[in-house]
């Protein structure tokens, strides 16, 4: 017999409980979405600190130029911040891949503790804003040390969250991706509001204005610290959620006695070795999930072959997610932050506060922050859409020979090669963005045949953002789920490293291309 159910049910155990075991209370769905919410908040907490540092430009524009300071660092502090943070993050994630430390730590050590530490660092940065007489060099040194520490902590949370979520249905990896986009939207809104409330002139800030900027920055850092603290507190309850506890126990049982990374579960959630169980997830219908010892040898051989095929395709998912972020970073934010409204008339950065035609600041200095907001909203929509398409369906069947019950999740989920091809096709969005009204100090060499319209950059940024969020989420959701359960957590860590590798490659490509296209 067969029975269909939506993936929103998030089945973890046997869909048909053993009638001989009335006390079988294993959870089969995420009640109230608690597990989803925890991973959503973990994703938001992961990216919140970095987004805070790259959006608080007004504060660093003032503090990093307080004498004595180093012009080479102060003039390009955003690039310096990015290189230090991404390099530290990439090294830390690579170390986690090599050592496999994520498989040996508890959820508290991978999520709660580093998120609390990140909140403390944000609060300490807020305290430093009151040291008004600190030199630019001292501020730069403290900030770089903070960013290096945040890079390591972020790597731990990012790799740990994907490792933990990978033993669950793919929607929980999507929750992490959506949380990261939520953090981006929050900081983009703050940047837009800060610009709208900024001073009207371009002269050097007076002492009163510098004090006002420092006070605003302090409030920003303290509020952000409180938000990350809340995210950290939510992850403290992950192991107490029955749905996650059952999945962790099942993953630990399948992975052997030495695996501790999934944490521990209460005894009434541990799965008996002689119980009829089903795969956590098999989105391809090829049986590469975990089978019970009760299934016959023929079935095991077929499943092993399918699992090998799924394992061979993991590289396409890693390359696809890396390429997705590489393409995005080629133009965002280096190029998009230099695009002014067609009505602005600026010949050198920044965009004029008021446009030449009309009086709306939306076409003036608010145009770039608005594009940032469009990107982050589009990115979130793309990540959320990954939970709608590709859509999968869970089917539960009973074997006529062994009496075992098996659940397979089938549907239109794309293969690794298809996702990689889509990621490669996104390069088509790059030249049109170069052709918008890009304003640089010198001459922009690329033909600006779209410089006369504001609709084109808005639509292109929205398309870039939506495809970025959707493809990245699909990769993170379905890459680990194709593997057997004992390999999913480790693959989650490797996929997380692929994300950082793509960001790093995109940053380098962006710097090179941006330099070549201007003179």
pLDDT band at 140 (very low <50, low <70, confident <90, very high): very high
pLDDT of residue 31: 78
Which one has a higher pLDDT value, 400 or 195?
Answer: 195
User: Are 103 and 166 a contacting pair, CB within 8 Å?
Assistant: no
Provide φ and ψ at 114, rounded to 5°: -65, -35
Greatest C-alpha distance within the chain: 83
H/E segment holding residue 4: strand 2-6
Least confident among 294-303, 368-377, 461-470: 294-303
What percent of the chain lies above the pLDDT cut of 70?
Answer: 75
- Nearest to 408, CA basis, from 421, 396, 420, 424: 396
pLDDT of amino acid 403:
46
Closest CA to 513 of 425, 420, 427, 424: 427
Exposure of 208 by Cβ count < 10 A (0-12 exposed, 13-18 middle, 19+ buried)? exposed
Q: Pick the closest to residue 181 from 274, 44, 68, 81 (CA basis).
A: 44
In angstroms, the CA 67 to CA 84 distance is: 23
Residue 511, pLDDT score: 78
User: pLDDT value at position 358?
Assistant: 59
- Tell me how crowded residue 425 is: count the other CB atoms within 10 A of its CB: 12
What would the mean pLDDT of 95-116 be, rounded to a whole number?
Answer: 86
Q: Which residues contact 383 (CB under 8 A, 6 or more apart)?
A: 174, 177, 178, 180, 181, 469, 470, 472, 473
**What was the pLDDT predicted at 447?**
94
Please provide the average confidence, as pLDDT, over all residues in the chain: 76
Residue 249: the pLDDT is 77
Kindly list the distances between the CA atom of residue 351 and the CA atoms of 93, 420, 452, 512, in Å, as whole numbers in the listed order: 38, 37, 15, 23
Each residue of 180-224: pLDDT tens digit?
Answer: 888 888 877 877 776 676 554 444 446 677 777 788 788 889 988
Residue 493 buriedness (CB in 10 A; 0-12 / 13-18 / 19+): buried
- Name which of 335, 301, 67 is nearest 204 in CA terms: 67
58 versus 236: the higher-pLDDT residue is 236
Q: Which residues contact 515 (CB under 8 A, 6 or more apart)?
A: none
Average pLDDT over residues 314-323: 92
What span, in angstroms and rounded, lies between the C-alpha atoms of 121 and 295? Answer: 52
Q: What is the DSSP letter of 407?
A: E
Quickly tell me which residue has 């030199």 as its tokens.
Answer: 135
The pLDDT assigned to 479 comes to: 85
For residue 176, what is the enclosing H or E element?
A: helix 171-196
Q: What is the mean pLDDT of residues 231-260?
A: 76
pLDDT band at 356 (very low <50, low <70, confident <90, very high): low
Cβ-contact 103, 259 below 8 angstroms: yes
Task: Identify the pLDDT of residue 283.
Answer: 34
pLDDT at 451: 92
- Provide the 8-state DSSP code for 132: T
Q: Which of 368, 378, 313 is nearest to 335 (CA)?
A: 368
CA dihedral 404, 405, 411, 414 (to 10 degrees): -50
The 10 Å Cβ neighbour count of residue 92 is 20
pLDDT digits (tens, 9 = 90+) for 24-35: 444 557 778 889
Residue 279's pLDDT band (cuts 50, 70, 90): very low
The per-residue pLDDT for 412 is: 52
pLDDT score of 123: 95
Contact 173, 477 (CB under 8 A): yes
Q: Judge whether residue 331 has pLDDT over 80.
A: yes
Strand-by-strand arrangement of the 2-6 sheet: 2-6, 392-398, 405-411
- Give the whole-number percent of the chain exceeding pLDDT 90: 28
| Residue 228 scores a pLDDT above 50 | yes
Beta carbons within 8 Å of 310's beta carbon, 6+ residues apart: 284, 286, 288, 482, 483
Please tell me the predicted confidence (pLDDT) of residue 93: 87
Tokens of 388: 């709608």
CA–CA distance from 480 to each of 33, 174, 391, 483 (Å)? Answer: 21, 12, 17, 6
Domains and CATH numbers, the chain: 35-196+207-271 (1.20.1250.20), 274-519 (1.20.1250)
CA dihedral 191, 195, 196, 200 (to 10 degrees): 170
pTM score, whole prediction: 0.70
- The whole-number pLDDT of residue 515 equals 80
Cα distance between residue 431 and residue 252, in whole Å: 48
Taking Cα atoms as reference points, which of 217, 222, 184, 220 lies closest to residue 60? 217
Lowest mean pLDDT among 7-16, 178-187, 411-420: 7-16
Question: Which position has the higher pLDDT, 100 or 207?
Answer: 100
């Amino acid at each position: 017999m067969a029975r269909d159910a939506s993936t929103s049910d998030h089945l973890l155990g046997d869909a048909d409980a053993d009638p001989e075991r009335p006390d079988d209370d294993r959870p089969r769905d995420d009640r109230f979405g608690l597990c989803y919410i925890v991973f959503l908040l973990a994703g938001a907490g992961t990216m919140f600190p970095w987004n805070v540092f790259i959006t608080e430009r007004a504060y660093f524009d003032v503090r990093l130029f307080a004498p004595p300071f180093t012009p080479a660092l102060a003039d390009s502090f955003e690039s310096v911040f990015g290189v230090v943070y991404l390099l530290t993050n990439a090294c830390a994630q690579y170390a986690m891949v090599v050592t496999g430390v994520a498989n040996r730590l508890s959820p508290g050590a991978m999520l709660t503790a580093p998120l609390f530490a990140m909140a403390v660092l944000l609060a300490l940065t807020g305290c430093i804003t009151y040291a008004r007489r600190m030199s630019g060099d001292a501020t730069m040194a403290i900030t770089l040390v903070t960013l290096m520490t945040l890079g390591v902590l972020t790597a731990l949370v990012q790799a740990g969250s994907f490792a933990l979520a990978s033993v669950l249905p793919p929607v929980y990896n999507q929750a992490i991706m959506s949380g990261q986009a939520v953090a981006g939207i929050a900081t983009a809104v703050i940047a837009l509001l800060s610009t709208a409330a900024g001073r009207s002139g371009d002269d050097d800030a007076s002492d009163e204005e510098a004090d006002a900027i420092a006070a605003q920055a302090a409030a920003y850092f303290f509020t952000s610290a409180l938000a990350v603290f809340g995210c950290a507190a939510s992850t403290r309850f992950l192991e107490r959620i029955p749905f996650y506890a059952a999945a962790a126990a099942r993953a630990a049982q399948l992975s052997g006695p030495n695996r501790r990374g999934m944490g521990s579960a209460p005894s009434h959630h541990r799965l008996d070795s002689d119980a009829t169980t089903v795969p956590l997830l098999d989105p391809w219908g090829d049986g590469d999930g975990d089978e019970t010892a009760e299934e016959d040898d023929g079935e095991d051989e077929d499943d092993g072959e399918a699992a090998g095929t799924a394992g061979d395709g993991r590289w396409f998912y890693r390359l696809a997610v890396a390429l997705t972020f590489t393409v995005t970073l080629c133009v965002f934010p280096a190029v998009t932050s230099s695009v002014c409204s067609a009505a602005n008339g600026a010949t050198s950065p920044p965009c004029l506060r008021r446009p030449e035609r009309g009086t709306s600041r939306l076409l003036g200095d608010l145009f770039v922050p608005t594009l940032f907001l469009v990107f982050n909203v589009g990115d979130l929509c793309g990540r959320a859409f990954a939970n709608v398409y590709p859509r999968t369906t869970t089917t539960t069947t009973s074997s006529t020979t062994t009496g075992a019950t098996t659940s397979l999740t089938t549907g239109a989920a794309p293969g690794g090669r298809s996702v990689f091809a889509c990621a490669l096709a996104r390069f088509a969005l790059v030249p049109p963005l170069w052709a918008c009204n890009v304003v640089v100090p010198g001459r922009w060499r690329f033909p600006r045949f779209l410089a006369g319209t504001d609709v084109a950059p808005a639509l292109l940024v929205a398309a870039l953002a939506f495809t970025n969020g959707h493809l990245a989420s699909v990769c993170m959701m379905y890459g680990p789920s194709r593997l057997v359960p004992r390999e999913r957590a480790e693959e989650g860590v490797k996929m997380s490293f692929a994300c950082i590798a793509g960001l790093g490659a995109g940053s380098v490509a962006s710097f090179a291309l941006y330099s070549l296209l201007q003179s």
